[in-house]
Structure 1
Amino acid sequence: MKKLFKNIFGVFTDEGFMHVIENVEVIVSKVLSVLMVLVILVAIGDLGAFLIKELFDTPYGKFNTTLFKIFGLFLNILIALEILENITAYLRKHVFQVELVIVTSLIAVARKIIILDLEKVTGIDIIGLGIAILALSISYLIIRSSNSHKSH
């Protein structure tokens, strides 16, 4: 009886509460991992179906515009893989790896630039994307150099 009482009310101690929170974080991370794998598999299926349809239905000379859509779909899958890597890295070390988050962000901005329709965007949009890339690149360099100094 004393052990049951201790287990039930142990949650109300700081240590017990933190243990419960860590368990919830792990469960949420695992659920997110499984869902992200599902998203990646569906995205691969979507890409395959799109490729087959476009390869046989696209008239001659129009494949260039389709190619940008294909690149966008490929990069979507790469972004999803990076997000999955972020989640699994968290599960392994219980720490968010800022470098992975920045790399994922760089891929997302690169995807945006690759599929950008220059006829539909304003100059300020392009400047904004340029600033985002510059800021992310500088952040990446700072984090990378910081990590390399820690390992030496």
Structure 2
Amino acid sequence: MRFWRRLIHLLQKAFSDESFSKILQSFEGFISKVLSVAMIFVILLAVYDLLLFLVTDVFTTEPYGRLGTALFTIFGLFLNVLIALEILENITAYLKHHAIQVELVIATSLVAVSRKIIILDLEKLAGLEVIALAFTVLSLAISYWLVRGVNRRSRHHDSND
């Protein structure tokens, strides 16, 4: 009987709000670190892919009229690296501040949508898709402008205190 009371007491202590919160924070930190390492691997693969494309397709083929079509692929590969770096920065900011940086997430989304627009083949695009992309860019831009304004006012207010 004493064993069971002691076990129940230990379980209650282990699952108290404070202990459970510490366990969750440790778990979040661990997962964030795993994601950071995985993102570094993805960035290295994206850079390798970009360099491989540059060496095999751009520098070894006939340059007459070829660069025009390859340029969109190059831009897409560069933006893939930038998006991966932005995601790594999001994870790093989360590790440092234990909060999601909304402004950074919106900026990353803007880069991702911009990538889509830059590599877009307009001949295969329907009118509704263009309107949807335009609405997405406009919504993200307005969101970024609003969040950035709030963050600036918050930083300005904090520095005056």
User: How high is the TM-score relative to the length of structure 1?
Assistant: 0.93
Partners of 1:33 and 1:27 in 2: CA distance: 10
Which runs of structure 1 show a deviation greater than 4 angstroms over 4 or more consecutive aligned residues? Answer: 5-9
Q: What is the aligned-residue RMSD (CA, Å)?
A: 1.5
Q: Does 1:39 align with 2:57?
A: no
User: How high is the TM-score relative to the length of structure 2?
Assistant: 0.88
The structural deviation recorded for 1:54 is: 1.2
Partners of 1:9 and 1:74 in 2: CA distance: 52
Aligned length: 149
The structural deviation recorded for 1:116 is: 0.1
Q: Does 1:126 align with 2:130?
A: yes
Among candidates 29, 32, 35, match of residue 32 of structure 2: 29
Letter in 1 for 2:117: I
Partners of 1:8 and 1:135 in 2: CA distance: 48
For the pair shown, the structure with the greater C-alpha radius of gyration is: 2
Find the residue that maps to 2:123 and give its secondary structure.
coil
Q: Does 1:63 align with 2:31?
A: no
Letter in 1 for 2:145: L
The structural deviation recorded for 1:9 is: 4.8
Q: Aligned residue for 2:4?
A: none
Partners of 2:26 and 2:13 in 1: CA distance: 15
Find the residue that maps to 1:96 and give its secondary structure.
coil
The structural deviation recorded for 1:145 is: 0.5
Partners of 1:7 and 1:103 in 2: CA distance: 46
The structural deviation recorded for 1:57 is: 3.5
Is the CA contact (8 Å cut-off) linking 1:47 and 1:74 kept in structure 2? yes
Is the CA contact (8 Å cut-off) linking 1:11 and 1:20 kept in structure 2? no
The structural deviation recorded for 1:78 is: 0.2
Q: Which runs of 5+ in 2 are unaligned?
A: 1-6, 157-161
Among candidates 17, 21, 28, match of residue 18 of structure 1: 21
Is the CA contact (8 Å cut-off) linking 2:58 and 2:70 kept in structure 1? no
Note the alpha carbon deviations across 1:54-112, whole angstroms, 9 max, x for none. Answer: 12343311210100000000000000000000000000000100000000000000000
Among candidates 73, 81, 87, match of residue 83 of structure 1: 87
Partners of 1:110 and 1:58 in 2: CA distance: 28
Q: Does 1:101 align with 2:105?
A: yes
Letter in 2 for 1:29: S
Aligned residues: percent identity? 55
